[in-house]
Amino acid sequence: MCGTVRAMPARNQPPDDRQFKVGDRIIVSLSAGRVEEATVKAVFQESNETRLIVDYGFNETATVSLWQVRRE
């Protein structure tokens, strides 16, 4: 028989109150651990989540969530 399983309390994440606008320079974490300096091209809401379209590198774009934006 298995032992007792206890539920772990959820981590309380502080609300992300950072505001971004078109033209802001930010640092983002992309897939596979890549970290790039990027420029915000658009900010939009998608299903209760703020997302950014960023431009990085030479002619590269990506859609990122706020959790992918590094704090300096």
| CA–CA dist 62, 26 (Å, integer) | 13
pLDDT surpasses 70 at 14 = no
The 10 Å Cβ neighbour count of residue 55 is: 15
DSSP per-residue string spanning the chain = ------PPPPP-PPP------TT-EEEEE-GGG-EEEEEEEEEEEETTEEEEEEEETTTEEEEEEGGGBPP-
With respect to residue 19, please indicate whether it lies within any of the assigned structural domains: no
Mean pLDDT throughout 11-29?
Answer: 83
With respect to residue 8, please indicate whether it lies within any of the assigned structural domains: no
| CA–CA dist 30, 35 (Å, integer) | 6
pLDDT surpasses 90 at 28 = yes
With respect to residue 61, please indicate whether it lies within any of the assigned structural domains: yes
How many folded domains does the chain comprise? 1
pLDDT category at 52 given cuts 50, 70, 90 is very high
With respect to residue 5, please indicate whether it lies within any of the assigned structural domains: no
pLDDT category at 21 given cuts 50, 70, 90 is very high
With respect to residue 34, please indicate whether it lies within any of the assigned structural domains: yes
Mean pLDDT throughout 8-34?
Answer: 81
